Chain A
Amino acid sequence: MTVITLDGTGLALEARPGESLTETFRRAGLMMRDGCLRGGCGMCRVRVVSGTITLSRTVCEQALPLADRDQGLTLACRAVPTSDVTVAIPPDGKLRCVTPLLTALARHQSSLIGDVMGQPVAIRSGPLPELVPA
């Protein structure tokens, strides 16, 4: 099982095999700033703080320069975790909860992840829609 920890939010999400970060976020009722969802526009940039990802498709230099990749930046729509990862979404990435029902479910699952792995995952309490200030 692969776990995506969202840096600074205390939220950990279970990633399904082959799923992009964006797909995991959406399945957890979360949205962030994005555009083409094809790796072409570069709007869904996030930073991989720890762990490893692979790009599921060729991403062109125009959308994500190699120099940026070297600094840990990637595109959420094309990034697929290859290990447990911690991902930081920049403020202009506007991460927000749009479907509290799904986020609550994801929190429940992530609390189970902690049990299963024997390493409790910190879950921040508080109103769900305020997961991250817009």
Chain B
Amino acid sequence: MGVVRLGYIHVRVTDIEEAKKHYCQTVGFRLVKDEGKRVFLKGWDEWEHHSVVLEEGGIGVIKLGYKVAKADDLEVIEAKAKTFGVAMERMSAGDNLETADGLRITLPSTHTIELYHNMTVTGSDVGRINPDVFPRDLVGIGAPRIDHALLGCDNVNETEKFLIDVFDFYQVERLVPDLEHQDVSLATWLSSGNRGHDLALIQGEGYSGKLHHFAFQLQEWSDILHAGQIMSMDDVPIEMGPTQHGITRGKTIYYYDPSGNRNEVFADGYTAQRDRPTIIWTADHLAKGINYVNRTLAEAFTTVLT
């Protein structure tokens, strides 16, 4: 089975109180553990203990946790990763709050990925038995869960090969310079299940180790508009949208959290399949791929990573 999904993301924020207010009141995540300068949050439809960790001091991403289906998967991935010679260590139960042991890997892009197979299940807000379709006390956007992350990378080809060979991701879409160079990835969208992407990479000098954005999952186009309405009420700076991506066909808004980390609300496009031929975007169509409707890109979109 291997990797199942993005389970948690741990990011830096400049002001923990402002961040808490934004992620809880605007995004609608729930505070599950408050350690003062570090807080743990979850969405209403997430059953594990937490999915977002905010830590005061700077901006950017500290690490991402991807859940694997079985404990055995960790050994399989560990063996494969050894052949790549990347930095790797076993992590102990308790290294992460309410999370069992796992594997900590430094990607060729220098990002820290933690693979885990067991986090305490605390249940979703609607429960498991005859659940209602959403909780009555949603706050703000009321995002049900996290979705995916897009990471910066100096060499996309190198890191995507690692993710495909070791994590068993498959490539759903790829941005290439032109049709004569379809083997050169400028950006890549990788999936482990049937989502358009669970992890994506974008190339740029000095981008390794950086975060382009992480996303919250919404269900429908109308949810995206609703999110935009809430953002306007709360003076959240929007970079793009509401619009649709050509790439993944997802519906989207890009915006910034109070520290300047880029976030996205994202509602799925098509169902991805392992045997679906990889979709190719040429660089001259990048604006259409990212912003299908308006076909414009804000200057910051491809230049600012945190």
Contact = CB atoms under 8 A, between A and B. Distances in A.
Interface of A: 33-41, 43, 57-63
Contact of B58 (A35, A57, A61): A61
Contacts, number: 60
Contact of B261 (A40, A59, A61): A40
Interface stretch (B142-150, B251-259, B268-276, B287-295): B251-259
Contacts of B2: none
Given A41-B260, A43-B299, A58 B304 contact: no
A38 B58 contact: no
Contacts of B18: 57
A36 B237 contact: yes
B304 A60 contact: no
**A35, A37, A40, A60 pick with most chain B CB within 10 angstroms:** A40
B262 interface: yes
Given A33-B299, A35-B299, A60 B59 contact: yes
A40 B299 contact: no
Contacts of A41: 260, 300, 304, 306
B15 interface: yes
B14 A43 contact: no
B60 interface: yes
A40 B210 CA distance: 13
B168 to A, nearest CB: 34
Given A35-B300, A36-B304, A43-B304, A58 B15 contact: yes
Interface residues of B, number: 21
20 contacts: A33-B299, A35-B300, A36-B237, A36-B239, A36-B260, A36-B300, A38-B256, A38-B259, A38-B260, A39-B14, A40-B256, A40-B261, A41-B304, A58-B14, A58-B15, A59-B14, A60-B58, A60-B259, A62-B306, A63-B260
Contact of A38 (B60, B237, B298, B303): B237
Interface string B219-244: 00000000000000000010100000
Interface string B10-32: 00001100100000000000000
Given A57-B258, A60-B259, A37 B237 contact: yes
A36 to B, nearest CB: 4
B299 A37 contact: no
**A34, A38, A41, A58 pick with most chain B CB within 10 angstroms:** A38
A70 to B, nearest CB: 20
Contacts of A43: 299-300, 303-304
Contacts of B257: 38
B174 to A, nearest CB: 27
B256 A62 contact: no
Contacts of A57: 14-15, 18, 258
Contacts of A61: 58
A59 B300 CA distance: 18
Given A35-B299, A40-B259, 11 more contacts: A35-B304, A36-B239, A36-B260, A38-B256, A38-B259, A40-B256, A43-B303, A57-B18, A58-B14, A60-B58, A60-B59
Contacts of A58: 14-15
Nearest to A22: B237
Given A38-B237, A40-B261, A63 B59 contact: yes
Contacts of B258: 38, 57
Contacts of B298: 35
A44 to B, nearest CB: 10
Nearest to A94: B299
Interface in B50-67: 58-60
Nearest to B305: A41
